[in-house]
Amino acid sequence: MVLKKLLSQCLTKYYHFAGRLPTHTTPYIDCNDEGVVFFEARNNSKLDEFQLSSVLDGNLDNLFPGDMVCYNSPRNTNLVGVQLNHFACGGSGLAISMSHLVGDGCTLTSFMNYWASVARYGSPDHEEVLPLNPHFIHFPRTSSPLAEAPDMSQQHAVLSTHVMRKFVFPNSKLSYLKKAVVSITNDIPTRVEVLTSLLYKAAVAVATTNAGCFKPSYLFIMADTRT
């Protein structure tokens, strides 16, 4: 199995994923190179049928390794679990679970992108393979990215021409924005959500004016929800 073989090669870069928790409650990792859990499963449904039924029945958990979706079981001390699902139509679905003790959604996305890139080109040493993200995880321990920071004193003339503005949003205004949203929809937004929406709305309006027409755009917000 190509995916399984190349996964082991990817773990040389993400070596902590192959470790174990000494117990399910300990907050540190034993990097013992035991590997990740990898299962293969067969599903009697067609992929499109399963997608439809999973929305209605909430059975997406069946795609994941058993007892590993939320990592709240005292029987599991592994950090990453993978299940390759084969559907009756010939399609496949890859499901990955990762403990929040070892990373978050951004970490998992970076790992999956790296694994996919290695699988595409057949080797982690191929010149077209995506670089590790973040890049500094493969720097030598004696090297510091801060040591290569540019001398900002050389840029004083450029920085002095920048225009800076400070916008203050008091709680009273944020409360007003929240009430305005609640009056239109049943959702109760947070202060961050209403303020972000306001700023994005203003940015879209400016971009539309400058371009002379509306152009679709996206707003991405990275959030770390670990506690």
Convert the pLDDT of each residue in 89-141 to its tens digit.
988 889 898 888 788 888 888 899 999 999 888 888 888 887 776 554 544 44
Q: Is 105 in the same domain as 169?
A: no
**Percent over 90 (pLDDT), the chain:** 15
Q: Is 130 in the same domain as 20?
A: yes
pLDDT, one tens digit per residue, over 58-87 is 677 778 886 554 555 566 778 888 999 999
Q: Is 167 in the same domain as 134?
A: no
Q: Is 182 in the same domain as 87?
A: no
Q: Is 21 in the same domain as 99?
A: yes
pLDDT value for 139: 46
User: CA nearest 73: which of 127, 21, 121, 34?
Assistant: 21
pLDDT value for 106: 83
pLDDT value for 115: 92
Is residue 151 domain-resident? no
Is residue 145 domain-resident? no
> Quick one: pLDDT band at residue 144, thresholds 50, 70, 90?
very low
Place of tokens 């990097």: 31
Q: Is 60 in the same domain as 168?
A: no
Cβ–Cβ under 8 Å, residues 79 and 21: yes
Q: Is 166 in the same domain as 122?
A: no
Contacting residues for 54 by C-beta, under 8 A, at least 6 apart: 60
> Quick one: pLDDT band at residue 56, thresholds 50, 70, 90?
low
Is residue 157 domain-resident? no
Q: Is 131 in the same domain as 187?
A: no
**Domain that includes residue 209, residue range:** 162-227
Q: Is the pLDDT of residue 205 over 60?
A: yes
Is residue 28 domain-resident? yes
Contacting residues for 121 by C-beta, under 8 A, at least 6 apart: 128, 129
Q: Is 118 in the same domain as 169?
A: no
pLDDT, one tens digit per residue, over 209-222 is 999 998 888 887 77
Contacting residues for 138 by C-beta, under 8 A, at least 6 apart: 13, 132
Contacting residues for 153 by C-beta, under 8 A, at least 6 apart: none
Domain count, the chain: 2
Q: Is the pLDDT of residue 149 over 60?
A: no
Tokens of 210: 């400058």
d(CA 74, CA 17): 18
Is residue 144 domain-resident? no
Instruction: Give the E-state strand segments of 45-151 in sequence order.
Output: 80-87, 92-98
